[in-house]
Structure 1
Amino acid sequence: MPLGALRPSPLVEQATEQLRAQITGGHWPVGTRLPGETTLAKELGVGRSTVREALRALAGAGLVQPRQGAGVFVIATEPAEDWPTRLRRAAVTDVYEVRMAVEVHAARLAARRRTPEDIAAIELALEGRRTASSGDDAAFVDADIAFHAAVVAAAHNPVLTDLFTEFTPVLRTGLVELLALTGLRTRDPNTADAAHEALVRAVADGDAEGAAEVLQAELEDPFAG
């Protein structure tokens, strides 16, 4: 499949897509050394700088790898999915299991590391959750997630915080759908409030195992939110 000259428009994006098509279509198998920048630029009808940017994008996608003094080689024929993309495709149940692992440990650390400012933020988030109980399911879920985010933040571990932030969008969608399906809040608008208050108390008291146990029990109930 020969390369064709490109139309005026975002040239880097066009170059990237044409080169990606050659790789994913098997024209350049894994292990193949790509033609040089000058050759590719001539075939695509663009400058070498455009080719260089396109190759950088393909390297970021995990398709090619530059080797010092040897050229650019194909290392995969399918782009590597980044973490947010994989999370968007993940089942909510899988994300929920990861949530449990992250949050239970974060609650334990929060009880050990919390500062007065952390406790104030967690208590404020609890009040926000209670206030949101009079609103719709989406608003309630947002307030619930904000509460849990405050607990995770109190662990003072940036990796745990980043993990929680990454899977929050999938978690939010799943929880909103779950509440709509079960109608749980029609019976108890502020569902699981007692468990959340107990978690605040355990973290404030420095009870690491108690905080972990409260959160574990809450999250094991798929209707606890």
Structure 2
Amino acid sequence: MPLGAVRPSPLVEQAAERLRAQITGGHWPVGTKLPGETTLAAELGVGRSTVREALRALAGAGLVRPRQGAGVFVIATEAVEDWPTRLRRAAVSDVYEVRILVEVQAARLAARRRTPEDVTALSAALDARRAASAGDDAAFVDADIALHAAVVAAAHNPVLTDLFGEFAPALREGLIELLDLVGMRAHDPNTGDDTHTALVRAVTDGDAEVAGAVLQEELEDTLALLLRRS
């Protein structure tokens, strides 16, 4: 079937989408060599540079692979989703299970590695969480996540910090929805203050085992609520 000319803007995204549709729709099976840039440019009504960028995007998605001197070949008919996309599509309970694995170990490391600056940041984050209890659920969840981020930061492991940063957006949505559904703050606007206080104290005192145990219990309790809701 003909590709059809694309609209003026954004050209690269439109060109990539048209080419992707040909691949995922089976018009170009795995192993097929794509037409040359000049041919694709003419069919799409764009310049060769636009086609080149579109092909680069498809290569990044794992659909095509250029072979030096031979051309560009289809290697898959389904795009490989990147990590942020997978997290957005995942059930929040699944994300939470991985969060427990990451954060509990981070809390243990934080207790061993925290600096005076970390202790100050943790105390400020705990105060901010308490202050946010007077606000709406979104503000409270943001303050809660900021406190957990401060604990992870105190572990001084950039990979753990990056992992938590990837989880945070997916967690935020799920937690706001959970608070609304189960009414956790109806009778206690600062729900969980005791466990978060104990977590900050354990990290500050350098007690890795207590820090890990307190956080694991708190996260598993929330996970149980998420699973009951689903």
Give the TM-score band, short-chain normalised.
over 0.9
Aligned counterparts, 1:141-160, within 5 A: 141-160=141-160
Give 3-state SS (helix, strand or coil) of 2:76's partner.
coil
After the TM superposition, which parts of structure 1 deviate over 4 Å for at least 4 consecutive aligned residues? none
**Structure 2: unaligned runs, 5 residues or longer:** none
Paired residue for 1:216? 216
Secondary structure of 1:5's aligned partner:
coil
The answer for the alignment partner of 1:138 in structure 2 is 138
Distance 1:125 1:2, change over 3 A: same
1:5 aligned residue: 5
Pairwise CA distance, 1:146: 0.5
Residue 104 of structure 1 is matched in structure 2 by 104
The gaps in structure 1 that reach 5 residues or longer are none
- The one-letter code of the counterpart of 2:195 is A
Name the CA shift for 1:175/1:38 in 2 (closer, same or farther; >3 Å): same
After superposition, residues 36-185 of structure 1 pair within 5 angstroms as 36-185=36-185
Give distance in 1, aligned partners of 2:10 and 2:198. Answer: 55
CA gap 1:219/1:28 in 2 versus in 1, 3 angstroms: same
Tell me: CA distance 1:6–1:136, structure 2 relative to 1, closer, same or farther (3 Å): closer
- Structure 2 residue aligned with 1:200: 200
What's the offset of the Cα at 1:5? 3.3
Q: CA offset at residue 224 of structure 1?
A: 9.1
Q: Give the TM-score of the pair, scaled to structure 2.
A: 0.92
Could you tell me how far apart the structure 2 residues matched to 1:147 and 1:7 are?
A: 47
**Residues 179 and 52 from structure 1, CA distance in 2 versus in 1: closer, same or farther, beyond 3 angstroms?**
same
Deviation at 1:61, TM superposition (A): 1.6
Give CA-to-partner distance per residue, 1:100-159, whole Å, 9 cap, x none. Answer: 111101001101111100110011000001111121111111111110000001111111
Number of aligned pairs?
225
Q: CA offsets, 1:164-207, max 9 Å, x none?
A: 11111111111111111121212212111111111111111111
Scaled by the length of structure 1, the TM-score of the pair is 0.94
- CA shift at 1:4, angstroms? 2.6
Cα distance in 1 for residues equivalent to 2:133 and 2:225: 14
